[in-house]
């Protein structure tokens, strides 16, 4: 009589270790891939947010520069201030139009406004509405828009500040235009190269400044250096 014997064969220890090793390698690879995907998404989101912020900043700056008006103002000491100037404690300061001339009682408010743009440290009150970096040891900067309720400033005039762009490394303004001699046009000076200050250092009492273009270079931590050109109103012939 023959007896049938069933032998049950299992995995050897080596096969089990090999299977566990392969599973672990797949798990590690999947984890690294997921981590890389999340990191890429986070970096993309940061860049997208920075780009949206730059677009909003560009909207404010473009709107203001496209409406530069030929109106000089007075500072808190009563001294005259140029229509467009880099001489004060800002990257640029100028007068622009475009406000609704709403009446205050019997007095109609001007549609002009004095505005300035500047880079300020996060430690200053100018950047109090900015998003501070998580690393408190890292000192950041913000780009702010500053404007005043009145054109001619009183000694106690307080500016209103808007943070238009955060995490700024540097912002630089450049200017190009011409200086016109209305009495003798042949003496007019055309400024073809970009210069970092306005009014032009070549300006004399017999010349009329005619600003044509402004170039802005913005350097951010996420996107590096960006460049934007703005055409400005040719107000030279109509300024009072």
Q: What is the pLDDT along the chain (240 residues), one digit of tens a residue?
A: 555 555 556 667 777 777 777 887 888 877 777 777 766 766 666 677 777 888 888 999 999 999 998 888 998 888 999 999 998 889 999 999 877 655 545 556 678 899 999 999 998 888 988 776 655 556 789 999 999 988 898 888 889 999 999 888 999 999 999 888 888 888 888 888 999 999 988 888 888 888 999 999 999 887 889 999 998 886 544 444
φ and ψ at residue 61, rounded to 5 degrees? -65, -45
- The per-residue DSSP string of 48-78 comes to HHHHHHHHHHHHHHHHHHTTB-S--EE-TTS
Cα pseudo-dihedral 90, 92, 95, 101, rounded to 10: -70
Q: What is the 3-state secondary structure (H, E, C) of 210-221?
A: EEEEEEEEEEEC
Q: Which residues contact 71 (CB under 8 A, 6 or more apart)?
A: 83, 95, 112, 151, 239, 240
CA nearest 98: which of 69, 132, 130, 58? 69
**Which residues lie across from 178 on neighbouring strands?**
190, 210
- 8 A C-beta contact, residue 168 and residue 216: no
Domain-wise residue ranges, the chain: 45-231
Exposed / middle / buried, residue 30 (Cβ in 10 Å: 0-12, 13-18, 19+): exposed
Asked, as a colleague might, if the bond just before 199 is cis with ω within 30 of 0, I would say: yes
Q: How far apart are CA 109 and CA 113, in angstroms?
A: 10
User: Which residue, chain included where needed, has tokens 């030929």?
Assistant: 70
Give Cα 172 distance to the centre of its chain.
10
pLDDT at 194: 95
Name beta bridge partners: 107. Answer: 104
Tell me, what's the pLDDT at 108? 60
Q: Report which of 169, 88, 161 is spatially closest to residue 124, judged by C-alpha positions.
A: 161
pTM here? 0.76
Confirm if 127 and 141 have CB atoms less than 8 A apart: yes
For position 31, what pLDDT does the model report?
76
Token output for 20: 């566990």
Say what the pLDDT of residue 77 is.
87
């Amino acid at each position: 009589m023959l007896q049938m014997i069933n032998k049950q064969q299992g995995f050897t220890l080596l096969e089990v270790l090999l299977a566990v090793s392969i599973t672990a390698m797949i798990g590690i690879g999947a984890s690294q891939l997921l981590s890389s995907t999340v990191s890429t998404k986070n970096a993309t989101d940061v860049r997208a947010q920075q780009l949206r912020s730059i677009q909003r900043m560009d909207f404010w700056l473009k709107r203001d520069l496209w409406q530069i008006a030929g109106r000089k103002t007075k500072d808190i000491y009563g001294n005259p201030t140029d229509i467009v100037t880099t001489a004060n404690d800002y990257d640029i300061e100028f007068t622009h139009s475009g406000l609704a001339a709403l009446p205050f009682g019997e007095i109609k408010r001007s549609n002009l406004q004095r505005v300035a743009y500047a880079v300020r440290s996060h430690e200053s009150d100018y950047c109090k509405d900015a998003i501070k970096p998580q690393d408190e040891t890292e000192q950041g900067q913000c780009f702010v828009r500053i404007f005043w309720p009145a054109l001619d400033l009183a000694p106690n005039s307080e500016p209103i500040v808007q943070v238009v762009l955060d995490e700024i490394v540097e912002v630089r303004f450049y200017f190009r235009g011409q200086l016109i001699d209305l009495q003798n046009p042949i003496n007019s000076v055309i400024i073809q190269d970009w210069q970092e200050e306005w009014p032009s250092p070549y300006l004399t009492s017999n010349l009329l400044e005619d600003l044509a273009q402004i170039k802005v270079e913005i350097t951010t931590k996420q996107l590096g250096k960006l460049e934007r050109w703005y055409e400005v109103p040719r107000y030279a012939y109509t300024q009072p």
